[in-house]
C-alpha cells in the first residue's frame, strides 16, 4: 500500500494543487496538450478529497488529506500577471473553508517562495504531501523537491500532472521522467485513481 512507507504514519496529509491556471489549462492558444486530462482528474480528486475531509471531520488520518493547498504562480510580466485571466485558478479554494488555503508563489518551488510554509504545515501536524498540477518538470517537480528537502513525505499523483512537449520529448515522456526523478529522491508515484478509491473506502 502506498501509505506503508511514510516516515510518520501518525501525521496528516496536505493535498497540493499546483498552478492549474487559465494560461496553462483553459486558453486554447497556450494550454498544455493534456490540459483536459489534468482538469478532469483534478475535478475528481478535489470532489473526493473534499468529501473525505468532511466525512472524517478533519480527524488525524494519514490516508486522507486534512487540508488542501491551492498554489498560484504569479509574474510581474509574462502570462501569469496577478489579476489577469491567465493567472486565475481553474480550481479556487472554497471561500470560508478553513481546510482550504491559497498560497501564492513567484518561483517554481512553493517552499522557496514561502519560507514559513513548511513550519505552518508542521504546526497543523502535516507530515506528508500529495501533489498534482502543472507543469510537471517545472513547478510540480520543484515543489515536490522542496517538500522532500523540508522533510515531508511526498506522493505525486500520476495521470494528474502534465506539461508541454519540450526538448524533443512528448509531455507524457516528461511526466515519466519527472516521476522517475522524484522516486529516486524518495517520493511515491501513485495513479490518482487509486488514491481516490482509497479515500472513498474510508
The string of DSSP letters for 128-174 reads EEEEEEE-IIIIIHHHHHHHHHTT-EEEEEEEEEE---BTTB-HHHH
d(CA 24, CA 87): 9
What's the full length of the chain, in residues? 202
| pTM confidence score | 0.94
Which strands form 188-191's sheet, in the order they lie side by side?
100-105, 65-73, 12-18, 126-134, 153-162, 188-191
pLDDT tens digits for range 60-111: 456 789 999 999 999 998 889 999 999 999 999 999 999 999 999 999 999 9
- Per-domain residue ranges for the chain? 12-201
Question: Which superfamily, per CATH, for 12-201?
Answer: Isochorismatase-like (3.40.50.850)
pLDDT tens digits for range 126-159: 999 999 999 999 999 999 999 999 999 999 999 9
Amino acid at each position: 500500500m502506498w501509505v506503508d512507507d511514510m516516515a510518520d504514519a501518525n501525521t496528516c496529509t496536505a493535498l497540493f494543487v499546483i498552478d492549474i491556471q487559465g494560461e496553462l489549462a483553459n486558453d486554447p492558444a497556450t494550454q498544455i496538450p493534456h490540459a483536459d486530462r489534468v482538469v478532469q482528474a483534478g475535478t475528481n480528486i478535489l470532489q473526493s478529497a473534499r468529501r473525505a475531509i468532511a466525512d472524517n471531520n478533519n480527524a488525524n488520518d494519514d490516508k486522507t488529506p486534512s487540508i488542501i493547498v491551492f498554489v498560484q504562480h504569479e509574474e510581474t510580466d509574462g502570462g501569469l500577471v496577478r489579476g489577469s485571466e491567465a493567472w486565475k485558478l481553474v480550481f479556487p479554494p472554497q471561500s470560508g473553508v478553513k481546510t482550504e488555503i491559497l498560497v501564492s508563489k513567484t518561483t517554481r518551488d512553493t517552499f522557496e517562495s514561502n519560507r514559513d510554509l513548511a513550519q505552518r504545515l508542521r504546526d497543523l501536524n502535516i507530515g506528508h504531501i500529495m501533489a498534482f498540477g502543472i507543469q510537471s518538470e517545472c513547478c510540480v517537480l520543484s515543489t515536490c523537491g522542496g517538500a522532500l528537502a523540508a522533510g515531508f513525505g511526498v506522493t505525486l499523483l500520476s495521470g494528474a500532472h502534465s506539461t508541454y512537449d519540450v526538448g524533443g520529448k512528448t509531455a507524457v515522456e516528461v511526466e515519466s521522467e519527472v516521476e522517475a526523478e522524484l522516486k529516486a529522491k524518495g517520493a511515491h508515484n501513485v495513479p490518482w485513481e487509486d488514491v481516490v478509491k482509497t479515500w472513498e473506502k474510508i
